[in-house]
């Protein structure tokens, strides 16, 4: 790994820890008295309930941060690693989301010497915006539940996708509860301003890079399907043309997220790797027809407009600092490797490719790979 990337990763990790330290500082500043002997166990439970609420809000914010597709973050970690962090962090967020109301309810109930249910009802009926927090919590539970593997495996992608969109409503519902009821924000205008700024920065960048940038790129390049070529019985290549493609900043080995604006497909966006270096005329992706969406790719009409989000990925020549390179691929996994091989060969790298398939008929790009082996001296096994 290049030192510049390693240093940037350390800097980003330090930035996240710094924000966590700020949150802990203001939590302690507003909750230290709850650890007094007079407050007792009720005070301790209440203090940790407040901390769980702050931690839950921060973890949810990190969810958007990881998947906001910000280029200065994605170029350092890669979208695939950020996606895994998003998945793992979601479980931690769920833990804090559930712990927050439980700890507060138990803590307040002990302090007031009332039953848990009575205290819960008091929260809902007498504390402004708590009902919105309850709505947000329920929505978060629905979203996380839909993402659990055993549940998601029984859901169609379409159903899972639309359920996942509820997280935006959950954020909106819980945010007002945080800033209106959260005692840590009420007692400190500095912490209040910091928290609002944090949310504003994350969601502004989320809006820009997830939604505005793909539309801007489309306005600049006017992507559309030029032709579709069958590679094997189960794979097709889609050639996409556009204006000034030489200026589109994609590197061999990267992938993009494609939205084909044709009937029945326009509302879905799927990632596909560049399957050959761009030549200024076409962007080529190659798709294995397995799922409901990919089985219809060969029927996309020529001239269909395409919105492209990206490029993404760190599987590029920038990370290849060795003179000799071993690349391993299986089946359709050859697509990013195919584009990267050509780029590395131009740099004089010694390349060995191990490429596995079930049958010879499944080999994608056989003629192209044979030509590269003959012309560039690439060893293919």
pLDDT at 373: 84
Average the pLDDT over 62-74 and give the result: 85
> Nearest-CA neighbor of 310 among 285, 345, 346?
285
374 — pLDDT class (breaks 50, 70, 90): confident
For residues 53 and 187, the answer to whether their CB atoms sit within 8 Å is: no
Per-residue pLDDT of 228-274, as tens digits, reads 999 988 899 999 999 999 899 888 888 999 999 988 888 888 899 99
pLDDT at 186: 56
Per-residue pLDDT of 354-373, as tens digits, reads 989 888 888 888 888 888 88
For residues 283 and 245, the answer to whether their CB atoms sit within 8 Å is: yes
Average the pLDDT over 170-180 and give the result: 70
pLDDT at 180: 60
Q: Which two tokens stand for residue 297?
A: 């790719």
Query: Checking DSSP bridges between strand 255-260 and strand 270-273, what pairing results, if any?
Result: antiparallel
Kindly report whether the global pTM for this prediction surpasses the value 0.75. Answer: yes
302 — pLDDT class (breaks 50, 70, 90): very high
Mean pLDDT of the chain: 84
Q: What's the CA gap between 71 and 13, in Å, rounded?
A: 16
Q: What is the dihedral of CA 125, 128, 129, 133, to 10 degrees?
A: -50
pLDDT at 361: 84
Q: What's the CA gap between 126 and 287, in Å, rounded?
A: 56
How many C-beta atoms lie closer than 10 Å to residue 65's C-beta?
23
pLDDT at 45: 92
Asked if residue 311 has a cis previous peptide bond (ω within 30° of 0), the answer is: yes
Average the pLDDT over 141-165 and give the result: 68
Q: How far apart are the first and last CA of the chain?
A: 27
The residue assigned the tokens 């709850």 is 34
Query: Checking DSSP bridges between strand 350-356 and strand 324-330, what pairing results, if any?
Result: parallel
Cα four-point dihedral sign 69, 70, 72, 77: negative
């Amino acid at each position: 790994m290049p030192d510049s990337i390693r240093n940037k990763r350390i800097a980003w990790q330090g930035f996240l820890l710094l924000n966590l330290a700020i949150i802990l500082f203001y939590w302690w500043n507003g909750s230290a008295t709850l650890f007094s002997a007079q407050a007792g166990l009720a005070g301790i439970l209440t203090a940790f309930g407040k901390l769980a609420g702050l931690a839950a809000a921060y973890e949810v914010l990190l969810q958007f941060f990881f998947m906001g597709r910000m280029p200065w973050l994605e170029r350092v970690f890669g979208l695939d690693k950020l996606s895994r962090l998003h998945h793992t962090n979601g479980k931690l967020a769920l833990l804090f989301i559930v712990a927050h109301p439980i700890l507060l309810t138990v803590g307040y109930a002990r302090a007031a010497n009332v039953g848990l249910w009575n205290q819960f009802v008091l929260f809902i009926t007498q504390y402004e915006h708590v009902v919105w927090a309850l709505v947000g919590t329920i929505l978060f539970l629905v979203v996380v539940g839909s993402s659990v593997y055993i549940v998601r495996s029984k859901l169609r992608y379409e159903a899972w996708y639309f359920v996942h969109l509820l997280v935006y409503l959950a954020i909106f519902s819980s945010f007002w509860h945080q800033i209106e009821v959260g005692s840590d924000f009420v007692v400190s205008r500095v912490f209040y301003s910091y928290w609002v700024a944090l949310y504003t920065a994350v969601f502004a960048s989320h809006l820009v890079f997830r939604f505005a940038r793909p539309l801007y790129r489309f306005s600049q390049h006017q992507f559309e399907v030029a032709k579709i070529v069958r590679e094997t019985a189960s794979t097709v290549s889609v050639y996409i043309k556009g204006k000034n493609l030489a200026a589109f900043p994609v590197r061999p080995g990267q992938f993009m997220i494609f939205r084909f604006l044709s009937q029945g497909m326009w509302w879905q966006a799927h990632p596909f790797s560049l399957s050959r270096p761009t030549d200024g005329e076409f962007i080529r992706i190659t798709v294995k027809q397995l799922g409901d969406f990919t089985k219809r790719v060969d029927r996309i009409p020529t001239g269909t407009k395409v919105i492209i989000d990206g490029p993404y990925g760190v599987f590029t020549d920038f990370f290849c600092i060795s003179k000799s390179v071993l690349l391993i691929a299986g089946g359709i996994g050859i697509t990013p490797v195919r584009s990267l091989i050509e780029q590395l060969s131009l740099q004089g790298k010694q390349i060995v490719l191990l490429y596995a398939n079930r049958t010879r008929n499944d080999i994608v790009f056989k003629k192209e790979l044979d030509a590269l082996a003959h012309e560039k001296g690439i060893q293919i096994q």
